[in-house]
Amino acid sequence: MKAILNTLLSGKTLGQAEATEAFEMIMSGQGTSAQIAAFLAMIQLRGVTPDELIGAASVMRQHVIGVTVPDGLTAVDTCGTGGDHGGTFNVSTAAALVVAGAGRDKGVVVAKHGNRSVTSSSGSSQVLEALGVKLDVPVDVLTHCLDRAGICFCLASSHHPAMRHVMPTRLELGIRTMFNVLGPLTNPAGVKRQLLGVYAADLTETLAQVLGGLGAQHAMVVHARTSEGGLDELSTSGITRISEWVDGRLRTWDLDPASLGFAPAPRSALRVDSPTASAAVIREVLEGQHGPARDMVVLNSAAACVVAGLAGSLPDAVPLAEASIDSGAARQALDRLVEASHQA
């Protein structure tokens, strides 16, 4: 570990092999708290590279408690980094339910990865609990949820036991580190199709490249710029920067929601102050209520449908997302997830 620290201290970046070596030591408990803190702080100060993230994520994937996707099904994730301090309801969780409703009969399921929030009023795990989903379940129950409901929720803290070697240091540091973006790169179901929202616009291309380097087939990494600040979602409140990795190529463009027929809405119309309030908004959307919340869910669901291969473009995917809600399929996905999660 000392050799790795000296490399960083000299101002050099780590190649994938060096990053893998460093994380093998960290995730196996060989690094001291001081060494881990120095490692994380030096990388954060100059900015993490794609090679460093690929090496780190590869090690975390090797240490994960995995979830088996039933034969014949393709899994997608809608996990975001969080950290945008937007205070909005759980858009990506609602979108996961809509995609599950749209995709289960077509062989597409959602392995939603997430954790308890530290920067927003409601994390994905908290809102799913408020919706009645049981989170602390064995991995075979998660596989059953995928088969029965077309969606499962992988609580990050239950799938990454090696994080016990890092968490005390992260808490003591109290600063953003590369671990803030590593979580969404380490889905326990090994998804190769992913919609990933990030807290900063300058991360979209980096993380799209990283997902490509980790074997992604199709990924979109998104960040919305609004007059009220950035969001780790596609947004109807402003322009969304999208970096897309597909067929081994990267392209980046800006999406104006008006081009898809969405009316602009202030971010304040999407804010909630608790998991209970977020759950109420999601239920209203799934019951067919129109308005800014539905528009946000449809927009993000459409992007996930494209990534999942259910549609070839965003204009084609919007009607799929709307139909999943209006037909009751998304609501049924939630009902089935609640039921299946309690069959432990």
d(CA 325, CA 327): 6
Residue 138: pLDDT band by 50, 70, 90 thresholds? very high
Residue 119 has a pLDDT of 46
- Binned at pLDDT 50, 70 and 90, residue 317 comes out as very high
Can you give the pLDDT at residue 117?
55
Q: What is the pLDDT of residues 287-296, one digit of tens each?
A: 999 999 999 9
The pTM is what?
0.94
- pLDDT value of residue 80: 87
DSSP-derived secondary structure letter, 111: E
Weakest mean pLDDT among 6-10, 63-67, 225-229, 314-318: 225-229
pLDDT tens across 167-222, in order? Answer: 999 999 988 899 989 989 999 999 999 999 999 999 999 999 999 999 999 999 99
**Mean pLDDT, the chain, as a whole number?**
94
Beta-strand relationship, 238-246 and 229-231: unpaired
Domains (ranges, CATH) in the chain? 2-63 (1.20.970.10), 74-155+189-341 (3.40.1030.10)
Instruction: Please choose, from the candidates 199, 185, 161, 292, the residue with its C-alpha nearest in 3D space to the C-alpha of residue 245.
Output: 185
CA dihedral 251, 256, 262, 267 (to 10 degrees): 100
Across 174-178, 222-226, 297-301, least confident range = 174-178
**For 111-133, how does the pLDDT look when each residue is reduced to its tens digit (9 = 90+)?**
999 876 554 567 899 999 999 99
pLDDT class of 227 with cuts at 50, 70, 90? confident
Q: If DSSP codes are grouped into helix, strand and coil, which group holds residue 317?
A: helix
Q: Give residue-wise pLDDT tens across range 28-45.
A: 999 999 999 999 999 999
What is the band of 84 on the pLDDT scale with cuts at 50, 70, 90? low
Residues 82 and 5: their CA atoms lie apart, in Å, by 29
Average pLDDT rounded to a whole number, residues 227-240: 92
The answer to whether residue 158 scores a pLDDT higher than 50 is: yes
Question: HEC states along 200-233?
Answer: CHHHHHHHHHHHHHCCCCEEEEEEEEECCEEECC
